[in-house]
Structure formats: C-alpha cells, structure tokens
Amino acid sequence: MDTKVLERRYGERLAEPLQKVSLSLVHRFVQDTAKTETDYNDCFTKELLEKVDESLKQCSDCYMLKFEIDLKLHICGIASREFLYMHRKFLSDRDPKIQLEKYKTQYLSDFLDLYEKRDDCQRKASEFVRCCIRPAVEEYISRSLGIDIVDEILTSSHSAEYSSRSFFQYKHSERAAAKEDFKSFVKYICKYEIYVKDWIFQHIQQKMSEDKTLCKLKNTNLLVIVDKIRDATEQASKGEDGVPLPDTKESITELINNMRKYLIKDISISVEAEKTVLFQIQSTCHTFTKSLIKSLRELKEQLQEEFSNSEDISETLNKLPIKPQDVLFKRVFGCGQQCPFCKVPCEAGGKEHEQHHAAVHRPQGLGCYRNVHTEKLVETLCTTDVHSERKFRNTDTKWESHPYKKYTDYYPDWLIPPDRTIEASDYWKFVMVQYNDRFAQEYKAKPADIPEAWRRITKEEALKGLKDAFNIK
C-alpha cells in the first residue's frame, strides 16, 4: 500500500505518518530477518507487532492511534511478502532435486572411476574437503567472527564511546553539532534507535575496511581451525593404542569417525555429505589420509585468496550468527524508552530498572510537542515545567489538561528532575534556535517563540553545557 493509496483511504494527515512508521519498522526489521537465511517462524510477526506497539507508545498523534489496526494490517501486508520470499528461498535451497543436481557431476565421476578402475583417492579427498570440511570451517569462522569484531571495536580508539550510554549520547550530540546537519538531528531525535543502529553498522564497516581488518580476522580463525583439523587427522589415523589404522578401505570410515571425536568442540562434519562423497571409494586409508592433508593445505590457500579478494563487509555482517552490530547496540541503547515530553532517551542501564532518567532534557518542541491552540512548537523544557503551574494534554490524558507537577500520574516510571543549572540544557536550546523554522516545517507546525536569552547562547557555551551535564572532564 503506497502513500497515494493511504491518502485516498485515510486522508493526507494520516498517510505520511503511516508511511514513515511502516518504512522504519518493516524495512529494517524484516530485511534484517530475511538475511539470516533461516525459515520463517511465527515469532517474527509477533516481534514485528511488538515493535509497532513500542512505536505507537512514543507517538503523540491521536489520529494514528485511531487507526492502530489498519496500521498493523498495512505493515504485516508488506512484511508477509518478504517473509513469503524468505520461506520459498529456504525450501528451494533444500529441494531434493536441486541437491541431487549438485552431485550429478560427482556421481558421474564415481561411475567412470569404477568402470575404468581408476585410482580415485585424491579426487575423493578433495571432494570430502570441499563438501564436508569447508562448510564446517566456514561455519567455525562465521561463529567466531562476530565476537572477534566486537573485541576489535572495543579495543580501538572509539572504545570509550561504547563504555556507557551517557557517554555515547554525549559523543553523538557533540558530533551532530560539529556536522551541523539538520537531517541528522531529526533522525537522532525522532528515530533514535535507527540512528544508533545505522551509526554502529557504518562504524563497524569503516573499522573492518581499514588495513583489511576483516580479512585478517578471518585468516586468524582459518589458521586456528585448519591446524586443529590437521592435528585431528594425524591423531585419528592411529588407534587408541597408538598403532596406525589398517591400510584398508574400511578404515577410512573409522578415520573420519575419530576426526569427529577429536573435533567435536570445534566443528561438525556432516554425516550425510560424507556418505555421498565417499560412496564406492576404492582407495585405502593411508593413501587417503595423505591426500586429505594435501587437500586441507589447498583449502587453506584457496580461502585465504578468497578472503583477500572479497571484502563485502555489509553482507558478511548481516549473515553472522552473532552480529557485532547487535552486541554493540545493546551496550549503548538501554531500554529504548524516551521521555514522554521531549523524547530524550533513557540512560539507565539494561531493561531492569525502576525509573527511567536522562542527564539532559530538551525543549519539548524538539520532540514534536506543540501548543494545541497556536500550533506553535513548545519551547519550554519538561524539567522546568514539572515544577511550574503549567499543564499538558495528549493522547495519554485523552486530551484533558493535566498539571505537569503530577506527571507521575501518567508516567510513574519516569524521573524528570528540575533543571539544576541554567546551562544544563544550553546545547538543546542552541539547537532549537538554530533550526527552529526547519523543525517547524518538519513537524508541520509553527516555529516556537524563542526566548531572547537563548539567542545569545554560543556554540562553545552549548558544548560546554553539554560536557558539564554529562560530567565529561
């Protein structure tokens, strides 16, 4: 359902918010889920709907809330197409006919070797490495790579940025001021979760591309697992008494079973692939073992070359079972709750805390709050209003006026302290002054009435106030 269809059905005012919410939720969550190369699960749709609910909790537009069911149907309609494609691809990758086609050439080679009574040892060893060992090696590297990337980022020059949620927010507020990019401010305020995820993903890509860091991490894991497989092969070629296995065809099965035993903590060698590859093998154990070690060396060289020539970092990150972008996101994002008035994100650690809080609150207009009568963005800070006689009203109060002083009647899990110093929120006052007209245009409101004192705040004073508020030395 595109914007024009939404406009015809719900009107212009609702169409744009619907489109924005659907794009931010569906395109991010669904596409990331589809890239995991797993089959569809009902929990994906459940999680998607939970994300819609979270988004609606942060929404102050009563018209959107009236059409909650339509919004969810619209989003699930988009998601269902992606999930259907994901399910079909999963089935296609496991189609028996396709799998048989994959081994067609190999079965022909087996038949010709049998018919002409040729020695098939090296070919069988190479096929075993390609079909059984290589997938296990790649899975090992993929499983280890996510944690290795996280460790690499956390020991880099940006490690302090990931040390706490408050410091992360401080650095990004500072960076946004330096860039003077209005769109970044809007994304930072209105779509904080997406902003954080995008920045972390881009930061990882940048760090992994420097000096071919990703390639080096892959090669490190490759050398580790290849050495383990080679050692396991040499150990497996002997019985429990240390005597080499008999040089017979039947001993090859025992050799591989022994390898599985020695490598059980590191990799899993497919039994089905082994039976297919070693079907009707004519070689004997000792010759096969030597050929296997040679093929392992060739595999190492082949993968090293592939790692060096192929650096699709984005694709690699999205396919890892442990995604470093998700691990780092959890370190700095917190519970995801935002102030009900100014939309500043909670800085409390984890999800288990009694009250949400933030060091620096913003003018409420930056969080889309406007005066119902004048349609002007609200310039006051919630930290000031909660100790005043002013009142607020929104969807939570069912549009009835309610004293800011009693905000805990509706938001008992938020702690909004008074603005302890005049300078504490100078940074966001400065931002409001700089982009007042543009925020009004973005939020389809009228510009706020800016106090004259705010216009005298310099960029240097704003940044100093930000640093003091976050206790940055």
Question: What 3-state class would DSSP assign to 313?
Answer: helix
Going from the C-alpha of 148 to that of each of 16, 126, 268, 320, 322, the distances in angstroms are 42, 30, 21, 12, 10
Does 14 score more than 50 pLDDT? Answer: no
Any idea which of 51-60, 221-230, 365-374 has the lowest mean pLDDT? 51-60
By CB neighbour count within 10 A (0-12 exposed, 13-18 middle, 19+ buried), where does 447 fall? middle
SS (H, E, C) 94-159: CCHHHHHHHCHHHHHHHHHHHHHCCCCHHHHHHHHHHHHHHHHHHHHHHHHHHHHHHHHHHCCCCH
Residue 7 pLDDT level (bands cut at 50, 70, 90): very low
3-state secondary structure of 39: coil
Q: Domain map of the chain by residue range? A: 3-94, 96-331, 334-469
What per-residue confidence (pLDDT) applies to 66?
A: 61
| Strand, helix or coil for residue 257 | helix
* pLDDT on residue 419: 66
Q: Which 3 state secondary structure label does DSSP give 381?
A: strand
Lowest mean pLDDT among 120-129, 404-413, 419-428, 431-440: 419-428
Q: What is the pTM of this model?
A: 0.74
Q: Residue 3 has what pLDDT?
A: 47
Average pLDDT estimate for 452-464: 90
When pLDDT is averaged across residues 183-205 and rounded to a whole number, the result is 88
Work out the average pLDDT over 201-217: 91
**Beta pairing partners, 392:** 402
pLDDT above 70 covers what percent of the chain? 85
- pLDDT tens-digit map of 76-94: 887 888 888 888 887 877 7
**Average pLDDT value over all residues in the chain:** 82
User: What's the confidence (pLDDT) of residue 112?
Assistant: 67
Q: Is the pLDDT of residue 246 over 50?
A: yes
The structure tokens 């991010």 sit at 28
pLDDT tens by residue, 301-345: 999 999 988 778 888 888 888 899 989 988 888 787 888 888 888
Cβ neighbours of residue 421 under 8 Å, at least 6 residues apart? 468
pLDDT at residue 145 greater than cutoff 90 = yes
Buried b (16+ CB within 10 A) or exposed e, 210-229: eeebbbebbbebbeebbebb
Rounded Cα distance between 325 and 120, Å, is: 46
Residue 472 reports pLDDT greater than 50 = yes
Q: What DSSP state is assigned to residue 408?
A: G
Q: Residue 46 — very low, low, confident or very high, per pLDDT cuts 50/70/90?
A: confident
**Position with higher pLDDT, 124 vs 295:** 295
